[in-house]
Structure 1
Amino acid sequence: MSLSRPKNTVATRAPGRTLAAWWQAAPLTAVFVLFFLIPLALILMVSFWDFNEYELLPGFTFKNYLAIFDGCGNTGELCVTFKTYLSTFKFSFLVWLITLLTGFAVSYFLAFHVRSSGVQTLLFVLCTIPFWTSNVIRMISWVPLLGRNGLVNQSLLGLGAVDTPVEWLLFSDFSVVLAFVHLYTMFMIVPIFNSMMRIDRSLLEAASDSGASSWQTLWNVIVPLCRTGIIIGSIFVITIVMGDFVTIGVMGGQQIASIGKIIQVQTSYLQFPLAAANAVILLSIVLMIIWALTRLVDIRKEL
């Protein structure tokens, strides 16, 4: 009785299929290179140029990077650059925390307390209504409400809750955070809601049968399974807030500084190399934050 050698079952990939895959990826690759990599390379290049009041001076110098941190090590207090970054981090953290709590609560209600898929869709569409108008209009809409003679102050005065109008409602840190939360909470709701809808409901029943309370089920089952949505929403919110300058300018009354606002001002004064250097530093910090968040979960594997 002769034994035949097993045939090699590993299929050889056809050259035509490999070439077709490259052709399919070529358009997206071209868009990525043209609109992402090349602009980033230009910003990095310009950040090492010199400039004066009239023109850009191509060359290679660290002058712009040194100017950003000029005086940061000579005084006992924080320099302007560090204070500005701390202010930006403060807004990013507060907005991230509030949008996370709000987005998780809304997503939990839609996913687990609304039984009808039709009602779920209706309520989800209602959450997207603010996106039907521009960000600037949504920000300006807060001015008649929060201003010194706005609806909120008039109501408080009418009820006798205060004797004078509340000044910190508008053009303050409060109004900036409020506008950010209003604008970007949806970026947290969508990925978390998507993660919750993919949870197997039998796991919740198993946790309940095992004697777990509602809070224990929430913390030990739902939150870990929503980790991917939380990370994706966090990346969206943090990266947008870190670079935003319009919201801070409008709702802060042009009195609150942020890195994005500094870059916008430098650009308006034609200080392009200095603005490019600030943009490179900001981008590096944002990329480090994204890297740290993606270490918590393998997004490509979970999606």
Structure 2
Amino acid sequence: MNSSAASPMPSPAPAPGHSGRAWWQAAPFAVVFVLFFLVPLALVLMVSFWDFNEYELIPAFTLRNYAAIFEGCSHRTANGDLCVTISTYLSTLKFCLLVWAITLALGFAVAYFLAFHVRSPRMQTALFVLCTVPFWTSNVIRMISWMPLLGRNGLVNQGLQGLGLTGAPVDWLLYSDFSVVLAFVHLYTMFMIVPIFNSMMRIDRSLLEAATDAGASGWQALWNVVVPLSRTGIIIGSIFVITIVMGDFVTIGVMGGQQIASVGKIIEVQTSYLQFPLAAANAVILLAVVLMIIWGLTRLVDIRKEL
């Protein structure tokens, strides 16, 4: 046998200038990424180590801001309560977990209906656009629209009293944890629907037919076929919802009546009092917590491989 015939063919050399063209094509995106992502993050990190007083920022390295944030967290108070920082993070994580669970249930149900029960592509598009209608107005307007419904003299309380279910207005419907979670779900469920729907549309329908032929019930096919193949969309939607809720302060401020603390609200208050280094330190800690949550979610599925 001719040895030259068995040897592998040499791979073609890259065309001259091809590598250079690729770098030039990526350069605008790299510049945007550096200017609008890396540089702001670097500035926030730098300012978090600055000192400050009532009148000015002092560009001198100090750990005072981080020490102030965790002051008193090494032990419980006399009443047995946790420090302000830990209590605030636990409150924020509570809202984050509740909103994530509700939006996941609603988003999965809506996406499943659109992907598997709506046969017409036109009807799918129409219903999908219908889901985006709330996004045609600002978040603040959508939050304010709940107040005439949930207030003490709102339609919900009037209906409950008219039906004889309550003898007095229900106070916890507005300016409470309930109203905050309700507003979050109203605002951000769409961020869960879109990626899950996109993942479900990629599922081969013959897999469901094979599961049915094998004797699987509808719930078994859903749990063993649809859910595993939709995990990429679930993880992406979870990242969207969690990152938005963790840093949100407008929704909690409006729907909580300025009575509920969150990490984003603390940063907003510190900024309004010109305590920029302290706010930057809080922002860095919040970013670290969010990144750890995202890292944990991405361990469940390799998003880059699945997309």
TM-score, normalisation: structure 2:
0.97
Q: Distance in 2 between matches of 1:272 and 1:4?
A: 71
Q: Which amino acid aligns with 1:79?
A: C
| 1:154-195 residue CA offsets vs partner (Å, 9 max, x unmatched) | 111111110000000000000000000000000000000011
Aligned position for 1:123: 127
Please state whether the residue corresponding to 2:119 is helix, strand or coil: coil
What is the match of residue 13 of structure 2? 12
C-alpha offsets along residues 215-240 of structure 1, whole Å, 9 cap, x if unaligned?
A: 11000000000000000000000000
Correspondence list, 1:237-248, <5 A: 237-248=241-252
Task: Identify if the C-alpha distance between structure 1 residues 133 and 2 changes in structure 2 by more than 3 Å, giving closer, same or farther.
Answer: closer
**Partner of residue 136, structure 1:** 140
1:183 aligns with 2:187: yes
> Is the partner of 1:168 in helix, strand or coil?
helix
Aligned residues: 303
Per-residue deviation, 1:51:
0.5
Q: 1:6-44 CA deviation, whole Å, 9 max, x = no partner?
A: 364212223411111111111111000000000000000
Which amino acid is the alignment partner of residue 22 of structure 2? A
d(CA) in 2 for partners of 1:256, 1:77: 17
Indicate yes or no: 2:80 matched with 1:79.
no
Aligned ranges 1:185-204 → 2 under 5 Å: 185-204=189-208
Correspondence 1:250 to 2:254? yes
Counterpart CA distance in 1 for 2:251 and 2:238 is 19
Separation of aligned partners in 1, 2:189 and 2:212: 31
Equivalent runs, 1:1-303 vs 2, <5 Å: 3-4=3-4, 6=7, 8-75=9-76, 76-303=80-307
CA displacement 1:253-297 (0-9 Å, x = unmatched): 000000000000000000000000000000011011111111111
The root-mean-square deviation of aligned C-alpha atoms, in Å, is: 1.1
Displacement of 1:2: 5.7
For the residues of structure 1 that align with 2:246 and 2:135, how far apart are their CA atoms?
20
| Cα deviation, residue 249, structure 1 | 0.2
Cα deviation, residue 4, structure 1:
3.0
Partner Cα distance (1:236, 1:19) in 2:
35
The one-letter code sitting in structure 2 at the alignment partner of 1:254 is Q
Give the C-alpha shift of residue 197 in structure 1: 0.7
3-state SS of paired residue (1:144): helix
Instruction: Report how far residue 146 of structure 1 moved.
Output: 0.3
Unaligned runs of 5+ in 1: none
Q: Distance in 2 between matches of 1:237 and 1:295?
A: 18
Q: In the TM superposition, what is the alpha-carbon distance from 1:3 to its structure 2 partner?
A: 4.4
Distance 2:66 2:37 in 1: 23
Question: How far apart are the structure 2 equivalents of 1:165 and 1:30?
Answer: 56
Change (3 A) 1:224 1:3: closer
1:171 & 1:210 partners in 2: Cα distance? 52
TM-score with structure 1 setting the length: 0.98
Alpha-carbon distance between aligned partners in 2 of 1:200 and 1:30, rounded to the nearest angstrom: 39
Alignment-mate amino acid for residue 75 of structure 2: N
Q: Percent identity?
A: 79
For residues 110 and 26 of structure 1, the distance between their equivalents in structure 2, rounded to whole angstroms, comes to 39
Report the CA distance between 1:72 and its aligned residue: 1.0
Amino acid at match of 2:169: P
**Change in CA separation of 1:201 and 1:49 when aligned onto 2, cut-off 3 Å:** same
The aligned amino acid for 1:53 is E
Once residues 2 and 15 of structure 1 are traced to their aligned partners in structure 2, the CA distance between those partners, rounded to angstroms, is 33
Q: Distance in 1 between matches of 2:284 and 2:45?
A: 7
Which amino acid in the other structure matches residue 151 of structure 2? G
Q: Give the partner amino acid of 1:4.
A: S
Matched residue of 1:160: which SS?
coil
